[in-house]
Amino acid sequence: MNKTKLMALLLGGSLVFSYSPFEQAWLPLAVLTLLLLLLRNSSPKQAFAHGFWFGLGWFGAGLSWIYVSIDQFGGLHPLASIAILLVLYAYLSLFPAVALWLWKWSEHKFGPSAIWLLPVIWLLTESLRGWLLTGFPWLELGYSQTDASLGQYAAWVGVSGVSVIVWLIAISLYRGWQQRCLLPTALATALLLVSFALPQWSQLERTGETKRVLLVQGNISQSIKWNPDQHWRSLTTYLELSKPFYSSHDIIVWPESAVTMPEPYTDDILANIHQDLVAADTSLITGIIDYSNREYFNSLITLGMDAPYQPMEAYYHGHSNRYAKHQLLPIGEFVPFENLLRPLAPLFDLPMSSFSRGDYVQPDLRAKGQHLTAAICYEIAFPNQVRANLKPNSDFLITVSNDTWFGASHGPAQHMQIARMRSIELGRPLLRATNNGITAVVNEYGQELARAPQFVAATLSAQVPLVQGTTPFYRNGLLNAWIIALMIAICGIFGMVKRRQNQ
């Protein structure tokens, strides 16, 4: 490895500090500008190689937390675990490598103005990363700006659009240095300044009404979670944590698969809980495994009051007030080529790794008259799916998870940051309940209202505001991001055409 490849690797690796829990939002602007400087004299082939090493650093450091679950639950030799991760990192690194290759190829064909094609090229390759082979959109650059002013662009252009804005600023700084010109630097300054004004143009408005919500964190060890002898004990833990708050809260939320006894084998117990909740005039949303028609579904169900004053629908197995996870986690919830892979190692035969998919778009959950758009664990990272499920009358986003697999690593903090970005994009408060953290309530601007401590059994109570109005991202999706990227690309094309004419 030569020095420039090592520099690309280190630049990519440094991006881990831009995401939670480190949250150095300025870092991507510096890193991308330095990357452009590093590649200023490179060929397309060299740009591909450097982009690949940049990606290895980016994903290797940013996703290093995956090793925790493979090491503890995968049953593989450490060298085999590292080899699997290297394959994943190498695959993900192809996307930035292709993006930088396309930029340099265009530059060698058409001149320096081709650099303005890079934002639309990056948007294209990142869209492919979020879709190909079911998609893995983790660590998009835009997430690094969740707590910064640039993050407010997400309400207009989505997290992918924020990535475009980050690239535009980096390119402007680079071109300002390259041309010794203030005009590109002025563009970077304008993009930064506009971000501070964006909240003033928001069409969101609080109604003045709030709902009291309780999130319950059971802190059940992953090693015993699926032990049949533990089923009743886990349920009892959640009931004991929740019952003292029945009469004082409108909505209670338990995490992903908090009820480990699958439906319908526990429907009689759930029916009793439903009656207790109705008597207390409250509602409960819980994760559970649904077994129906010889298929398993990772699900959320609502018990108790689904309407403001009296229940519209009593609980029974198969009732309509439920959500089945659509975007399944590879290996963890479904195993591709399972007949080949499952016999190889425990990693490919984890408990509950044969789920079926729910529909892409499903009705909101109903709880005490409120409508909640659901996403289970990993699928909160798919903004287009969450947006497709949000309705004009949706009151809250709700996501449940079990990040116990990843211990005290930075994985759960990144997951929380991703969930918060959905609130900014869609302009709705978010309720997030997890088994051992991070459990939190987030307002419509992505700011945490309350958070429970990690790694303890806890309850979190919060008054959550109701919001009306919609964001441009909800109305238009990624269209605005594509328009901005394409407009910048067109400006680059004009520059390339002008250069050709002058030759």
57-97 pLDDT, tens digit per residue, is 999 999 999 998 887 776 678 888 899 899 999 999 999 99
8-54 pLDDT, tens digit per residue, is 999 999 999 999 999 999 999 999 999 999 999 999 999 999 999 99
Please say if 181 is a catalytic residue.
no
Question: 117 falls in which pLDDT band (50, 70, 90)?
Answer: very high
Residue 441 is classified by DSSP as: E
Question: Could you tell me if 315 and 259 are in contact, meaning their C-beta atoms sit under 8 angstroms apart?
Answer: no
Using DSSP, state whether 456 is helix, strand or coil: coil
Catalytic-labelled residue, pool 104, 211, 325, 368? 325
Check whether 490 has a pLDDT greater than 60: yes
Interior angle at CA 328, CA 158 and CA 284, nearest 5:
85
What pLDDT sits at residue 339?
56
Q: Which two tokens stand for residue 193?
A: 């300044």
Check whether 262 has a pLDDT greater than 80: yes
Q: How far is CA 77 from CA 87, 341, 409, in A?
A: 16, 16, 20
Task: For residues 440 and 429, give the distance between their C-alpha atoms in angstroms, rounded to a whole number.
Answer: 11
What pLDDT sits at residue 342?
47
Catalytic-labelled residue, pool 107, 256, 379, 425? 256
Lowest model confidence (mean pLDDT) among 109-113, 195-199, 438-442: 109-113
Question: 334 falls in which pLDDT band (50, 70, 90)?
Answer: low
179-229 pLDDT, tens digit per residue, is 888 888 899 999 999 999 999 999 999 999 999 999 999 999 988 888 888
Query: What average pLDDT does the segment 415-423 reach?
Result: 98
Task: For residues 65 and 405, give the distance between their C-alpha atoms in angstroms, rounded to a whole number.
Answer: 10
What pLDDT sits at residue 501?
66
Question: Could you tell me if 413 and 432 are in contact, meaning their C-beta atoms sit under 8 angstroms apart?
Answer: no
Residue given tokens 């058409």 in the structure block? 110
Lowest model confidence (mean pLDDT) among 64-73, 253-262, 394-403: 64-73
288-321 pLDDT, tens digit per residue, is 999 998 899 999 999 999 999 889 999 999 999 9
pTM: 0.95
Q: Between 338 and 215, where is the model more confident?
A: 215
Any residues with CB less than 8 A from the CB of 41 and at least 6 apart, and which? Answer: none
Task: For residues 278 and 387, give the distance between their C-alpha atoms in angstroms, rounded to a whole number.
Answer: 31
Task: For residues 489 and 499, give the distance between their C-alpha atoms in angstroms, rounded to a whole number.
Answer: 15
Any residues with CB less than 8 A from the CB of 107 and at least 6 apart, and which? Answer: 114, 115
Lowest model confidence (mean pLDDT) among 155-169, 183-197, 441-455: 183-197
Check whether 333 has a pLDDT greater than 80: no
What pLDDT sits at residue 354?
78
Please say if 295 is a catalytic residue.
no
Check whether 150 has a pLDDT greater than 70: yes
| CA 325, 257, 60, 54 torsion-angle sign | positive
Q: How big is the chain by its Cα radius of gyration, in Å?
A: 24
Catalytic-labelled residue, pool 263, 377, 379, 444? 377
Q: How many CB atoms lie within 10 A of CB 181?
A: 11
Please say if 377 is a catalytic residue.
yes
- In whole numbers, what is the pLDDT of the chain averaged over residues? 93
